[in-house]
Structure 1
């Protein structure tokens, strides 16, 4: 079978996923952007691909008064606008939407939860959902504890054997019960611990699915298969061959009207503590014994706990924080962050952060990990760059790369995992160009999902919603992962808060960050890799 035939068969064969058992999905915050832009388009795509059970229902829960019919129509408009699957398939939608219902109530109102209980009983009878419940908190974080407490007080949470990966014995009941919680999960270690305590008063840990949509992206998942499914890379995935690793999450927009939220978060809380540390743990983890969810998450936690603590005294030398000022971005003039509506006067909130971390274990000792994220940067891109050590220069000391300012410098091999956009993997190697002279030019060996498979990767929420219905928590974040990440980050954000604007750098919108960030990495004899 040719490579083309293998790819074609992989695309056209039915998914290896089993279809979940029937269930009712309750979305708290059903009138928000997350529901409209991500959750409903993901459910529609799953229905389109035949991965939702016939016994399926959705109940929206939000403050605004509306009928079941009005809710269905609003969700239809959202799917027509935001679904990756075009043209819109009315037949698929009609089959899906017949199980859509709505409850109008505040998140604190016990009467609303009583109406929800009655509606769930009716949905079980009408749609055969078997008492299986999936609660999705698409609400502001401030509402998480209230919703969880009301679910418990209303008797809407059952103790169950919760899916095929559950080994903790518990009494059988009429159905499974799980809860999905969006980031941010706390603001620091203390608030994360408190929120976990609130949740565990009602739910067991195996019922809790803390979602980070980055983990649903195809290339993120491919980090594991790429590393452990190909024998040529894993032997080179260690301190003997790797010089350093860079993780970049760049956004090509400012805060765009979200200044009130962002000013209380900043780049460290918004991106680095969750998305970027999750990426780091997947890149750096040891091979799990199996792909059982807890085996994978055990290895991720080991990495997070092995990261050397950044003490308050070391924050200045191990980090850079900055804020964008007015500049040109994509042909438009962008206002300074400090001038955005909702941003506090004399704000010290960072919109750019760079951090050097070291992992104290046998695989990574001495290999720095450089993490960088920011808003109003030139491109929207997320990628991981593994830079290998410089090759010996004895043989090629006079045959450096063409175009390099020094002819005796050979550019090292560099492996790039592009998470978004244009998901793919590339490897930079040195090749001799045609001609009599011995010289090297950098060339890329690349793989693109779009070019290889002829289709775009599925949306992250499609994979994650389906996994939750199936009871597979591999790509969700466990309690100890959250707490380990916050234990690392909290001393940094506290030191920045104590320093205020002292030490805060600035850079124009549309640039790759402040000069202080360049000097930060150049002091180690390295340079940032800008796409």
Structure 2
């Protein structure tokens, strides 16, 4: 991998004008709605502390939690401290904590209660005066989508979205709707109070360093670009496999499923980054243009029964333990038709990718946890070897591992020592942890800092959201007509229909 940065490419936490200097947010307050939830406590609050600990937050910073719990500021600060000590990636330092805690506030109440927002308004005014946050406020909606309109309407009616009194931004967690119509309605709701440049749609996968390195890999290295096309690539597999079930997320997951939860956002975004043309720069607008071109050129085969697959895990063995099936999980109805495995084929009608199928799959209760992008290359047109010499020769592949062991591997044939000409598949591996002494920032660190800086390159825009739903809606409609998903035992690689989907094109799924 080249060490010289691509023109326009910057270290995510450093100033693009001087890569020796960190990008430090200006005076501001960050408001978390739903701060008592798991996402806030395990990811968001620790990420804020890590930013403070790295010196990336200003002295004039405020953190406000909003939830139904009746905490005092001191009680809430103690809970934040406990979450930080349990989940932060950087060491706990008293001096960092003492600076951060001066700006911590808590507002209790229901989101549909006007008095809650009276208290929030007063708390933010006090922070502006005491901490010097300057009227710059970011509102992070870590709440169910059904509450978005309630919160946005309350913010607007309580005069907390006036851009003339400091910047105001809103952060939305996926899913961005549950279909195209609801995504458009969500946009209508949010855009009543916030202009498009002030709306940040969080897709935490786009904050992962290895996803960003995909662009560096492609555009900083001349060796890859000549083969990154349909002349050499036979197909592309993008996988997000989890070895866990739904855990305690039954209320969220049932009715959502693997396709809405992961394919519509994470995997289609990874596909767009993999297939996009080189942008003129890595400025937000240029990245968005190239991603949108890919999504606009993408299509699903007409025969959805042959080129999509869905499944639902049943009881089985995983990691030496017996685990329950999806329908046996607490809170899941016995007749649920929610899929826990989803796979689709996507074709991209561009000169670079015409004829190259992209296979996207997401699943729970797989044998192992892995997220990866695999470019599978065509066989050499002529192999001057006997079959006995190449019986262990597999397909050339370039694999980008996004989690958990971030890195890149190349799979190719090599001669076995001390033989005449026996060829065997080997792997050449690059791991970030082994090559760089500085640890990568956690995805939410990167994304929260970008929100506070007003830097939007990593955030999907409304056009991308709508194009993604246009692709997925016909699949979801067909599945709704097709009865129950195909069962697959926990701890296996999914239903037989998923293997059949690739076999029809002469391929097989990679075993990560």
Q: TM-score range by the shorter chain?
A: over 0.9
8 Å contact from structure 1 (residues 399, 440) kept in 2: no
CA change 1:454–1:437 in 2 (3 A) is same
1:506 is the counterpart of 2:487: yes
Q: 1:432-489, CA deviations, whole angstroms, 9 ceiling, x for partnerless residues?
A: 1222411212222221111111454221000001111111100011011111111111
Q: 1:195-248, CA deviations, whole angstroms, 9 ceiling, x for partnerless residues?
A: 101111111110000000000001111111111111111121111111100001
In structure 2, the partner of 1:451 is 434
Q: CA deviation at 1:505?
A: 1.3
| Counterpart secondary structure, 2:299 | coil
CA change 1:92–1:278 in 2 (3 A) is same
CA change 1:66–1:186 in 2 (3 A) is same
1:330 is the counterpart of 2:319: yes
Q: 1:311-340, CA deviations, whole angstroms, 9 ceiling, x for partnerless residues?
A: 5xx211110111111100111111111111
In structure 2, the partner of 1:343 is 332
The alignment covers a number of residue pairs equal to: 500
Q: CA deviation at 1:362?
A: 0.8
In structure 2, the partner of 1:463 is 446
1:220 is the counterpart of 2:211: yes
In structure 2, the partner of 1:427 is 410
| Counterpart secondary structure, 2:89 | coil
In structure 2, the partner of 1:169 is none
- Indicate the RMSD between aligned Cα atoms, in angstroms: 1.9
Matched residues in 2 for 1:76 and 1:37: separation? 12
In structure 2, the partner of 1:495 is 478
Partner residue of 1:128 out of 132, 152, 156: 132
Q: CA deviation at 1:91?
A: 2.0
CA change 1:275–1:309 in 2 (3 A) is same
CA change 1:316–1:39 in 2 (3 A) is same
TM-score normalised by structure 1 residue count: 0.91
In structure 2, the partner of 1:305 is 296
In structure 2, the partner of 1:258 is 249
In structure 2, the partner of 1:190 is 181
| Counterpart secondary structure, 2:63 | strand
Which consecutive residues of structure 1, in runs of 5 or more, have no partner in the other structure? Answer: 4-9, 160-172, 405-409
In structure 1, the partner of 2:93 is 89
8 Å contact from structure 2 (residues 301, 345) kept in 1: no
1:361 is the counterpart of 2:350: yes
Matched residues in 2 for 1:128 and 1:260: separation? 40
Q: 1:74-116, CA deviations, whole angstroms, 9 ceiling, x for partnerless residues?
A: 0000011111224x22221121111100111211122211221
Partner residue of 1:153 out of 137, 157, 162: 157
Partner residue of 2:44 out of 39, 42, 64: 39
Matched residues in 2 for 1:341 and 1:257: separation? 8
Matched residues in 2 for 1:193 and 1:310: separation? 25
Q: CA deviation at 1:11?
A: 13
In structure 2, the partner of 1:232 is 223
Q: CA deviation at 1:310?
A: 4.7
TM-score normalised by structure 2 residue count: 0.94
Matched residues in 2 for 1:240 and 1:494: separation? 35
Matched residues in 2 for 1:222 and 1:12: separation? 14
Matched residues in 2 for 1:499 and 1:375: separation? 21
In structure 2, the partner of 1:30 is 35
CA change 1:354–1:118 in 2 (3 A) is same
In structure 1, the partner of 2:365 is 376
In structure 2, the partner of 1:178 is 169
- Paired residues for 1:283-302 under 5 Å: 283-302=274-293
